[in-house]
A and B are shown apart, each in its own frame.
Chain A
Amino acid sequence: MVDDAIIKTTDLNCFFGSVQALKSINLQVQRNEILGVIGPSNSGKTTFLRALNRLNYRVRSYSQTGEILLDGQDLNGIRDNVLRKKVGIIFALPQVLPVTIFENIAYGPKVHGLTHREQVDWIVEESLKKASLWDEVKDRLNQPAVKLSGGQQQRLCIARTLAVGPEVILYDEPSSGLDPISTAKLEDTMQQLKADYTQILVTNNVKQASRVSERCAFFLMGELVELGQTDQIFTKPNDRRTNDYITGRFG
């Protein structure tokens, strides 16, 4: 594999108060890959994800040591709003704002200073197309977003993230509230986005990781146990704990 890391963490330790949520994580994310992150609950997956766009800092007691590089640049040297424009996130349950479909997506461009109406229209359309939602909603852009189904809302969230032009998209258990059909559509969408975005998928669903990701990281109790090609992780893991987890012995 060509070494083209877009994200690189070095000795990353994360703390909530005195509780250490992540222990010395060294990990690289390749450009345009889908990295699956699996592990039981409380293993630090979500903390890892939210460390990448500094959302963890919303918790007052949070602190971290170590280094995270995005395109070779230290995260601490980037302003939060600039960072989060580059690194978008999709939350566990579809979170839409109580405004119209159009306004949900136009929000990002608006806060980044884009006011030209035609340009915004075009961004909304393109974002919805890329999130494979355009055909379903193009006639009702001015309806409240909360009226969409759960699966549609989640793809709306993807479109909303795409609209600010990110490089990396983080998914925090994106299909935990969705039925199997919506999940399948979501996974299709992720595949289509591969050409242009780096995607990191945190999931409780081991099968989903095996379907979608190219490489896979296994977290356990705040440690990165194993990182490798998804095939290798699922067929012949190096660590016994990884094997135990994916075969369903705990978790």
Chain B
Amino acid sequence: MTKTQNSKRTDRRATAFLSLGFRALGLFRISNFGFRDSPGGGRRRIGEFIIEWCIRASGLVVVAFVFLIFLFLLRDSLSLFRDFSVRDVLLGREWLPISEPPKFGILPLLVGSVLVTFWAIVICVPLGVAAAMFIAEVAPRPLKHVLKSLIEILAAIPSVVLGFLGIIWLGPFLRNTFHLSTGMTGLTGSLLLAFMALPTIISISEDALAGVPKAYREAAFGLGATRWQTLWRVILPSASSGIVAAVMLGIGRVVGETMVVLMVTGNAPVMPKSILQPLRTLTATIAGEMGETVGGSEHYFALFAVGLVLFAITFTVNLIADVFLRRARR
């Protein structure tokens, strides 16, 4: 018998004795403190059952909301399409909801939305991507933080405040600069919307740029490229998926924005010929006319049809953005 075993045996005896002592004292069974095997009593288990049920239900509720929103829009839109053909509504060039007989051609509104969105995106994408490049690759660390906070401030300004500034300041300014009859035009809306979409575009583009693997950068530097060449030829192309996603999300934001366009684009539901004229978007139409409709009237249903079109547009745009975001993450 070896020495270790000997000492092991003494150990064993000692611990056995100790535990025996404890047990003899009758205080407790040393290895089990003597509380129940099942956690808590029945009430506790019922509580747990309820909360877990709530957790699962809340997931369901989120899905249900999307379905409900879609269903309600669809239901009320369909009521309109009983009396007006889909073709007349989608391609009709006249929106005359309170004339007799009414006409619900949403094409002028759709074109208004597209026009305003197009110019807003044309203005804000170059600016936003440039700013994202500056923040991600050029600015020193302290400046980067300052810039990011400023962008966050911009994101926090309520749209109604920007609309107000558009009325009292930007509109008159543009009227005088371009010698227009009114400052409340599509361009006023586009400029403000571009401003509002910047935070979305900058932050997502910047994430995409910062997410480009270090190895790419180092490889380019290793080949003797300058920081600018690396940024322009290597980093920017590698981040392109993320930037496309940023642009798509920007479009979604601009198309769906309501208050600014309601307040500054002049509210003229006619087919716009130029961005320098008053026009009317899909969102502004709903916001502006809903309060004046009678529940259950054709006009009321027509506004839901406009909502459905909006829903379809933003749904598609966001889905595309999501696809590109996923691709960017990979």
List residues of chain A with CB under 8 Å of any chain B CB: 79, 81-82, 85-86, 109, 111-114, 123, 126, 130, 163-167, 191-197, 211, 231
Q: Are B41 and A113 in contact (CB under 8 A)?
A: yes
A194: min CB distance to chain B, Å: 6
21 A-B residue pairs with Cβ-Cβ distance under 8 Å, sorted by A, are A81-B39, A82-B37, A85-B37, A112-B35, A112-B36, A113-B35, A113-B40, A126-B30, A126-B33, A130-B30, A163-B33, A164-B33, A165-B32, A165-B35, A167-B31, A167-B32, A191-B11, A191-B12, A191-B15, A195-B16, A196-B30
Q: Are B35 and A82 in contact (CB under 8 A)?
A: no
Partner of A197 from the list B2, B31, B33, B36 (CB cut-off 8 Å) is: B31
B308: min CB distance to chain A, Å: 39
Complex CA gap A189/B21 in Å reads: 18
A34: min CB distance to chain B, Å: 10
Q: Are B15 and A192 in contact (CB under 8 A)?
A: yes
Q: Does B19 contact A (CB under 8 A)?
A: yes
User: B interface, how many residues as a size bin?
Assistant: 20 to 34
4 closest Cβ pairs, A-B complex: A196-B31, A113-B40, A165-B32, A195-B15
Q: Are A113 and B15 in contact (CB under 8 A)?
A: no
A232: min CB distance to chain B, Å: 13
Complex CA gap A165/B30 in Å reads: 8
Interface SS, B side: loop
Q: Are B44 and A211 in contact (CB under 8 A)?
A: no
Q: Are B39 and A113 in contact (CB under 8 A)?
A: yes
- Residues of chain A lying within 8 A (CB to CB) of residue B2: 231
Partner of A166 from the list B15, B31, B39 (CB cut-off 8 Å) is: B31
Chain B CB within 10 A, most for which of A79, A81, A112, A231: A112
Residues 1-29 of chain B, each 1 if its beta carbon lies under 8 Å from chain A, else 0: 01011001001100110110000000010
Partner of A165 from the list B11, B31, B41 (CB cut-off 8 Å) is: B31
Complex CA gap A130/B41 in Å reads: 29
Partner of B8 from the list A79, A109, A191, A196 (CB cut-off 8 Å) is: A191
Complex CA gap A123/B28 in Å reads: 11
- Residues of chain A lying within 8 A (CB to CB) of residue B37: 82, 85-86
- Residues of chain A lying within 8 A (CB to CB) of residue B39: 81, 85, 111-113
- Residues of chain A lying within 8 A (CB to CB) of residue B297: none
- Residues of chain B lying within 8 A (CB to CB) of residue A165: 31-35
Q: Does B38 contact A (CB under 8 A)?
A: yes
B192: min CB distance to chain A, Å: 47
Q: Are A196 and B19 in contact (CB under 8 A)?
A: yes
Complex: chain A residue closest to B16, CB-CB: A195
Complex: chain B residue closest to A81, CB-CB: B39
Residues 25-66 of chain B, each 1 if its beta carbon lies under 8 Å from chain A, else 0: 000101111111111110010000000000000000000000
Complex CA gap A160/B41 in Å reads: 22
B57: min CB distance to chain A, Å: 23
Partner of A211 from the list B4, B33, B41 (CB cut-off 8 Å) is: B4
Q: Are B15 and A123 in contact (CB under 8 A)?
A: no
Complex CA gap A104/B32 in Å reads: 18
Complex: chain A residue closest to B31, CB-CB: A196
Partner of A123 from the list B4, B12, B33 (CB cut-off 8 Å) is: B33
- Residues of chain A lying within 8 A (CB to CB) of residue B34: 165
- Residues of chain A lying within 8 A (CB to CB) of residue B18: 195
Given A123-B33, A165-B31, A166-B31: A113 and B12 within 8 A (CB)?
A: no
Partner of B35 from the list A109, A197, A231 (CB cut-off 8 Å) is: A109
Complex CA gap A113/B48 in Å reads: 13
Known contacts A82-B38, A109-B33; 10 additional CB pairs below 8 A are: A85-B37, A112-B40, A113-B36, A167-B31, A167-B32, A191-B11, A194-B12, A194-B15, A195-B30, A196-B19
- Residues of chain B lying within 8 A (CB to CB) of residue A130: 30
Chain A CB within 10 A, most for which of B19, B30, B31, B40: B31
Complex CA gap A123/B27 in Å reads: 12
Complex CA gap A130/B15 in Å reads: 11
B86: min CB distance to chain A, Å: 46
Complex CA gap A152/B108 in Å reads: 75
Q: Are A195 and B33 in contact (CB under 8 A)?
A: no
- Residues of chain A lying within 8 A (CB to CB) of residue B40: 112-113
A234: min CB distance to chain B, Å: 11
Complex CA gap A113/B28 in Å reads: 18
A106: min CB distance to chain B, Å: 12
B33: min CB distance to chain A, Å: 5
- Residues of chain B lying within 8 A (CB to CB) of residue A231: 2, 5
Complex CA gap A62/B5 in Å reads: 40
Complex CA gap A109/B36 in Å reads: 10
B51: min CB distance to chain A, Å: 14
Complex CA gap A192/B31 in Å reads: 12
- Residues of chain B lying within 8 A (CB to CB) of residue A163: 33
B20: min CB distance to chain A, Å: 8
- Residues of chain B lying within 8 A (CB to CB) of residue A81: 38-39
A246: min CB distance to chain B, Å: 16
Complex: chain B residue closest to A112, CB-CB: B39
Complex CA gap A73/B34 in Å reads: 20
Complex CA gap A29/B31 in Å reads: 18
Residues 94-105 of chain B, each 1 if its beta carbon lies under 8 Å from chain A, else 0: 000000000000
